[in-house]
């Protein structure tokens, strides 16, 4: 439970993506700014195909 009262700043928001490693374990990764910009939606990916 975070303390209440202060609005969340965009700079404090982390975007995390989950993936699986070779052993099938779920791995979480915090995306950097350039990775966020490079992130594509499934629609965009299908368009690319």
- Rounded Cα distance between 41 and 30, Å, is 17
Q: Is 15 among the residues that bind another protein (CB under 8 A)?
A: yes
What tokens appear for 35 in the block? 């990775």
Interface pick for another protein out of 20, 21, 23, 42 (rule CB under 8 A): 42
Q: Is 33 among the residues that bind another protein (CB under 8 A)?
A: yes
Minimum CB distance to another protein smaller for 25 or for 43: 43
Enclosing H/E stretch for 45: helix 42-48
- Rounded Cα distance between 21 and 28, Å, is 10
| Interface ranges with another protein (CB under 8 A) | 1-18, 31, 33, 36-37, 39-43
């Amino acid at each position: 439970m975070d303390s209440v009262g202060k609005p969340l700043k965009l700079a404090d928001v982390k975007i995390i993506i989950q993936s699986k490693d070779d052993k099938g374990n779920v791995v979480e990764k915090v995306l950097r700014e350039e990775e966020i910009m490079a992130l594509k939606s499934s629609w965009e990916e299908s368009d690319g195909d």
